[in-house]
Each structure stands twice: as structure tokens, then as C-alpha cells.
């Protein structure tokens, strides 16, 4: 298939019939491309009809075509492509450039769609941009397999084996992955994929990718299930691999690994940071984006848990704000962190006035109170990273976010060759991987300091 699309003079992309404002959406794409400056784009988006036209563009960028795993190579290998929808036609490059144009005015998009942050993601990363070969190395003709799997983990396939097999042939692993064998079980294919990525990259980053709490294929805990979670499972978790620049918890160390028991057990080495002492309520986003009361209740539980062990000082507020955002809030001024928290507490005062969870005084540092729109935007922004996680405090005082299934007594460690700290649980003489964790003090190689001198001590883990 790759060869066919590489040699085609042009590839025709058929999105379907004209509906849901598709004609207006395509015209909006043309208008955005005709703008000569950022100011012209801003002026276009200031028009009264702009919000509705962008919503039509969201509809267009969410059509079923964009979610199919097999169409990635159709477009990535094409010399040129034309997109057709009903009676309209637009060059692929024109439609694709819309994402870059809108990224440059993301502040205006946030103002227009503050109750629907997913719309902004669709406009800047969806549609044609979602079929970009790799969002990590966009200029590579054959990116690493893990990059492709991460870039397209939300895609759909009739056969779940194709979530891997459809990408191998356009990756740098196409000659080393091994035979494409549909007679193998899902457990065999996904475990082989994890072993292959670890062996070829000398990194353990692949074990941090967690899409499911459903054990549908009896996979080892360190092996990723690449199938898309069912829509009933709520909002998708945003993994720490989205961080730019990437986290480097293990510094530049290569992974230490062996595969035991027919390749289903991972033996590796790392540094134990601490043990979890306390956990906050788990948060799992369900319902419409604007439904924030459950999120605010979890936020207050986390704040109360945190303040029970730490002061309500400005430095503590910074620590808490960085933790709940998994480091995505990164400001030069401490007051900006306090302002984020104040916006969340202000919205809580509006919506949780009868709640006994407001028993602790919230921080109050910001000189100007945010508008209701800005408050809601901050809450939804925090909720994206809080989703499917829970706050934890360790015995020696570390604060972080862990998978929502983490529990008191779990071990927090940094494994060699792994970009994020992980949570492990000891069970019957071995370990089970719970998932990646965010700990502000240990995201950029801090745990590795002194390793060459024999401090701290490396421990061995057999993860089942």
C-alpha cells in the first residue's frame, strides 16, 4: 500500500457529503489561508459569525475519515492530495495549514471556546493535522514506531491488531519489527511491540503510556493496550509525554532490562524515591465539559489534603498548582500560580456555596479577580491534567499526581531510561506497574544526581 500511494500522481480524499456546515467550514479554511498577517486572522475571528464558522470547522475536522488508522499512510506517502466534501474541493496543504494559523491565535480561541477546550484541540491538532505522520518528528519520513503509536493512539481500527500493524510499515521499524502475523493473539502482538520498542530505543518510555483500566487482553502491567478506550469510559487521559520540552526524570541513562518468563516479565533497575502516605479523591471526568462541580469537589479534597500537611504559604501554593497541572503551568512569577488557584476558589464560592469542603481558607494573592469566563477556563484547564489521576503525598513530603488507581503503600520510583517517575505496587513477591507519576522535584534528572558515585542505590524490579 505504501508503494502504491508513493507512486500515485495525486490522492483523492473523500470526506463525505455536504452537511453540518461543511461548505462554510471549507470557505473559512480558504479565508484563513488568505490572511497575510496575524492581525488579519484576529480581525477575521472578531467577526460576529466567526464562532459559528469555526464550530462548522470543528465538525469537519471530526468526521470519521480522520479517525481511521489505515488512511495515515495514504496521505503521508502522497505526492499531492485533494480533499473533497460534497461539491467542494480544497488542496490538502491548504486545509492542513489552518491548524498552524489557528495555533498562532490560541488566546482568541480560548476566549471563544472557554467552555469547550476540546474544540481548540480539534482546530489546532485535529482533522488533517491528526494524520501527520509524527507530531514529534514531523520531518522524518520513517519516524520511530513509538512516536507513531503515540501520535495515533486515538485512531480507530476494525481489527485492534492494526493499531500496531498499520503503522509498522511507515516506521523506522519496518525492517526490524519482525513478521506481520495476524494469527498471533492481542497479548502476543502488544507485548512483542513493547519489547521491540524497549530493545531498539534502550528506553522504557513506552511503559508509561496508559489508555485503559480495562484488562481486556490479560496484558502484563508494563505493556500498553493501544486500542482506543470506549466512549463510555469518559474523557481520555492526557499522558505526560505531551509535555514540551519532554520530561527527563532518568536523565540520559539507558534502560536496564531483561525479558523473563517467555518475555512477559520485565526485569529492570531504578531508584526508589519514597512510599505513598496519603492519597486524595480519584478524579475521572464524565459528562459535558461545562459540568465542573465534581471537579471542584475533588480540587477541594486535594487542597484540604495538601494544606493539612503543608502551610498555606505562597511557595506551597506554587507547589500545589504545579502538581495539579502536572507541570503544564510554568510561570516566572509565583503570583501567577496563586492567581490560578484563586480563580478556582472563586468559582467554587459561586457553585459550592453549601459545601463543607470550603472549611479551609483559600489562597488570596492576586490583586484582580478573574471574570467568570476566565475562572471557568482555568478550572477546565486544570481538569484536563487532573483527569484519571489523584493527588498523593509521600512519607517524606513529596507531592505529586499519580494514576487514579494508586493507593497508600505504593512505591514511587525512577527507572533507568524512563522519562517519568512511576508508581509500582508489590504483589506476591513481584511488582505491578500502576502508571506514570508527576513529582515536581524529580522530573528533570534530579534522582540521578550522584549515581556515578554509588548514591543513591539502584534496586531491581521484576514487573509482571
Of 64, 96, 131, at which residue does a domain stop?
Answer: 131
Q: Does 127 fall in a domain?
A: yes
Report CA-CA distances (Å) from 397 to 202, 310, 316, 392.
32, 9, 12, 10
Say if residue 110 is in the same domain as residue 200. no
Q: Which domain holds residue 54?
A: 2-131
pLDDT above 90 covers a percentage of the chain that reads 74
Q: Does 377 fall in a domain?
A: yes
DSSP state letters, 351-371: H-TT-GGG-SPPP---SSPPP
Q: Does 354 fall in a domain?
A: yes
Any idea what DSSP says for residue 228? P
Write down the pLDDT at residue 353: 63
Burial zone of 429 (CB within 10 Å; 0-12 exposed, 13-18 middle, 19+ buried): exposed
Say if residue 105 is in the same domain as residue 216. no
- Decide: 28 and 55 in contact? Cβ < 8 Å: no
Report CA-CA distances (Å) from 80 to 3, 14, 60, 87, 169.
14, 14, 20, 20, 20
> C-alpha grid cell for residue 395?
512519607
Say if residue 103 is in the same domain as residue 14. yes
Say if residue 163 is in the same domain as residue 120. no
Say if residue 107 is in the same domain as residue 186. no
- CA separation for the pair 446, 461 (Å, rounded): 21
Q: Does 285 fall in a domain?
A: no
Q: Does 317 fall in a domain?
A: yes
Those residues of the chain that have pLDDT short of 50 are 356-360, 362-363, 365-368
Bridge partners of residue 401, in order along the sequence:
391, 438
Q: Does 451 fall in a domain?
A: no
Number of neighbouring beta carbons within 10 Å of residue 321:
22
Q: Does 397 fall in a domain?
A: no
Tally of domains in the chain: 3
- Alpha carbon 349 to its chain centroid, in Å, reads 30
Bridge partners of residue 88, in order along the sequence:
85
Note the pLDDT tens digit of each residue in 379-436: 988 999 999 999 999 999 999 999 999 999 999 999 999 999 999 999 988 999 999 9
Closest Cα to residue 396, out of 290, 275, 306? 275
- CA separation for the pair 304, 358 (Å, rounded): 9
> C-alpha grid cell for residue 291?
459540568
Q: Does 6 fall in a domain?
A: yes
Q: How many residues does the chain have?
A: 464
Of 356, 386, 416, at which residue does a domain stop?
Answer: 386
Say if residue 197 is in the same domain as residue 173. yes
Of 131, 153, 170, at which residue does a domain stop?
Answer: 131
Closest Cα to residue 221, out of 207, 232, 233, 235? 207
Say if residue 103 is in the same domain as residue 216. no
Write down the pLDDT at residue 354: 54
Say if residue 106 is in the same domain as residue 27. yes
Amino acid at each position: 500500500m505504501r508503494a502504491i500511494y508513493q507512486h500515485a500522481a495525486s490522492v483523492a480524499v473523500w470526506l463525505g457529503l455536504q452537511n453540518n456546515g461543511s461548505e462554510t467550514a471549507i470557505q473559512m479554511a480558504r479565508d484563513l489561508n488568505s490572511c497575510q498577517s496575524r492581525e488579519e486572522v484576529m480581525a477575521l475571528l472578531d467577526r460576529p459569525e466567526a464562532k459559528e464558522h469555526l464550530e462548522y470547522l470543528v465538525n469537519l475536522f471530526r468526521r470519521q475519515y480522520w479517525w481511521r488508522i489505515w488512511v495515515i499512510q495514504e496521505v503521508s506517502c502522497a505526492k499531492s492530495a485533494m480533499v473533497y466534501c460534497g461539491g467542494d474541493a480544497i488542496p490538502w496543504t491548504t486545509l492542513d495549514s489552518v491548524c498552524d494559523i489557528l495555533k498562532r491565535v490560541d488566546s482568541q480561541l480560548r476566549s471563544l471556546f472557554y467552555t469547550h477546550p476540546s474544540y481548540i484541540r480539534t482546530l489546532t491538532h485535529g482533522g488533517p493535522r491528526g494524520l501527520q505522520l509524527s507530531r514529534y518528528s514531523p520531518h522524518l519520513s520513517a519516524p520511530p514506531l513509538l512516536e507513531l503509536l503515540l501520535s495515533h493512539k486515538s485512531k480507530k481500527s476494525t481489527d485492534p491488531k492494526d493499531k500496531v500493524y498499520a503503522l509498522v510499515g511507515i516506521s523506522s521499524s519496518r525492517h526490524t519489527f519482525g513478521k506481520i502475523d495476524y494469527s498471533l493473539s492481542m497479548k502476543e502482538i502488544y507485548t512483542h511491540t513493547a519489547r521491540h520498542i524497549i530493545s531498539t530505543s534502550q528506553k522504557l518510555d513506552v511503559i508509561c503510556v496508559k489508555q485503559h483500566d480495562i484488562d481486556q487482553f490479560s496484558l502484563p502491567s508494563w505493556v500498553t493496550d493501544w486500542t482506543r478506550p470506549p466512549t463510555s469510559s469518559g474523557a481520555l487521559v492526557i499522558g505526560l509525554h505531551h509535555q514540551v520540552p519532554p520530561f527527563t526524570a532518568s536523565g540520559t541513562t539507558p534502560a536496564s532490562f531483561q525479558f523473563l518468563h517467555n518475555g512477559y516479565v520485565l526485569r529492570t533497575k531504578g531508584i526508589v524515591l519514597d512510599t505513598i502516605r496519603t492519597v486524595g479523591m480519584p478524579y475521572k471526568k464524565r459528562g459535558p465539559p461545562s459540568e465542573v462541580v465534581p471537579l471542584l469537589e475533588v480540587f477541594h479534597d486535594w487542597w484540604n489534603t495538601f494544606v493539612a500537611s503543608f502551610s498555606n504559604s505562597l511557595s506551597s501554593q506554587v507547589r500545589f498548582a504545579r502538581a495539579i497541572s502536572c507541570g503544564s503551568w510554568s510561570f516566572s512569577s509565583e503570583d501567577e500560580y496563586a492567581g490560578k488557584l484563586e480563580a478556582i476558589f472563586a468559582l467554587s464560592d459561586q457553585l459550592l456555596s453549601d459545601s463543607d469542603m470550603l472549611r479551609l481558607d483559600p489562597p488570596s494573592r492576586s490583586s484582580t479577580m478573574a471574570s467568570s469566563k476566565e475562572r471557568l477556563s482555568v478550572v477546565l484547564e486544570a481538569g484536563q491534567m487532573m483527569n484519571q489521576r489523584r493527588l498523593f503525598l509521600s512519607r517524606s513530603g513529596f507531592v505529586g499526581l499519580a494514576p487514579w488507581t494508586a493507593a497508600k503503600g505504593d512505591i514511587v520510583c525512577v527507572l533507568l531510561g524512563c522519562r517519568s517517575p512511576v508508581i509500582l505496587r508489590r504483589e506476591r513477591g513481584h511488582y505491578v506497574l500502576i502508571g506514570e507519576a508527576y513529582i515536581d522535584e524529580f522530573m528533570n534528572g534530579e534522582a540521578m544526581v550522584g549515581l556515578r558515585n554509588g548514591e543513591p542505590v539502584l534496586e531491581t524490579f521484576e514487573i509482571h
